[in-house]
């Protein structure tokens, strides 16, 4: 056993509905994907004897990143879940580093803890490195569920206008992966000024001069080896960036990847 794995333990004293159990496990994976910005996922390593004991380990799913942190992401993740629980239970005022609560996280943590809501004695424990970080029973969960409904309404209202029309002017863009030659699936690029992680790329107009400029080699330089200066609209799913929409390219300012001092003429 790897002590740094995540142990999700449900003390099923009075049983739990199968759908509730499946949703709780799915929510655990979904929130981990959100927490790691889709770079890592959780997989079941072992299902142990007992009421309901699942051991999870992580796998890297996005190898195009320039680096992958070596820190104990699983421990940080469970601490994140505990912080969300404490904020909703009003034991803390806010999440660390002023991270904002989003509806998906509230729903996920609700599902992760929900197996305690059956009978009177069920418990949910989440532990890492033999340390129990989350322990919740029915009374606490009832308060959590009640508070989360109100907080969910407030957060959704805030998010309606938070990420509307988010456009960045003249930022440096680089292709990471393209499918225009049908060898790969998905067009992915990175704008480090916005975030380190690559995301899906679309164009405001597929018939535009901008798309032609950014998908055509010129002056003997492979277009996939060029760093482009672009205007871009950032597309969100709640607070998570899911795509860049390229609005305009500035070809005179483009930079050849292998020589940061040489512009394309």
Q: Could you report the per-residue pLDDT of 81-116, keeping only the tens digit for each?
A: 999 999 999 999 999 988 888 888 999 999 999 999
Give the pLDDT score at 159: 64
CA 89 distance to own-chain centroid: 24
CB 93 within 8 A of CB 83: no
Angle between helices 103-113 and 138-162 (to 10 degrees): 170
**Rounded to an integer, what distance in angstroms lies between the CA atom of residue 203 and that of residue 246?**
5
Predicted pLDDT of residue 184: 57
Instruction: Please tell me the pTM assigned to this model.
Output: 0.65
CB of 257 closer than 8 Å to CB of 222: no
Average confidence score pLDDT of the chain: 84
Q: What pLDDT, on a 0 to 100 scale, did the predictor assign at position 263?
A: 47
User: Which of the four pLDDT bands, split at 50, 70 and 90, describes residue 260?
Assistant: very low
Domain ranges in the chain? 6-162, 167-256
Whether the pLDDT of residue 257 is over 70: the answer is no
Contact 188, 211 (CB under 8 A): no
Distances (CA, A) of 95 to 100, 108, 254: 7, 16, 40
CA 17 to chain CA centroid, Å, is 28
Which two tokens mark 85? 């629980």
What is the pLDDT at residue 78?
96
Residues 6+ apart with CB under 8 A from 119: 13, 14, 15, 138
Residue 207 clears pLDDT 50, i.e. is over it:
yes
């Amino acid at each position: 056993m790897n002590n740094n794995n995540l142990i999700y333990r449900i003390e099923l004293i009075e049983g739990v509905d199968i759908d509730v159990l499946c949703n709780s496990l799915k929510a655990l994976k979904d929130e981990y994907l959100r927490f790691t910005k889709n770079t890592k996922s959780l997989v079941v390593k072992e299902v142990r004897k007992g009421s309901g004991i699942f051991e999870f380990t992580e796998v890297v799913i996005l190898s195009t990143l320039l680096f992958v942190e070596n820190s104990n992401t699983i421990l940080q993740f469970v601490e994140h879940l505990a912080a969300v629980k404490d904020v909703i239970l009003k034991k803390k005022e806010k999440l660390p580093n002023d991270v904002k609560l989003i509806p998906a996280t509230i729903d996920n943590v609700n599902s992760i803890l929900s197996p305690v809501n059956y009978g009177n004695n069920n418990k949910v424990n989440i532990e890492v490195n033999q340390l129990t970080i989350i322990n919740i029973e029915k009374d606490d969960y009832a308060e959590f569920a009640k508070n989360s409904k109100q907080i969910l309404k407030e957060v959704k209202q805030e998010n309606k206008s938070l990420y509307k029309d988010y456009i960045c002017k003249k930022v440096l863009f680089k292709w990471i992966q393209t499918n225009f030659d049908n060898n790969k699936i998905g067009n992915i690029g990175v704008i480090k000024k916005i975030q380190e992680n690559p995301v899906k790329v679309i164009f405001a107009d597929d018939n535009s001069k901008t798309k032609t400029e950014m998908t055509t080699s010129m002056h003997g330089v492979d277009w996939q080896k060029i760093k482009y200066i672009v205007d871009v609209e950032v597309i969100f799913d709640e607070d998570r960036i899911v795509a860049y929409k390229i609005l305009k390219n500035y070809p005179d300012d483009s930079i050849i990847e292998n020589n940061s001092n040489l512009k394309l003429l």
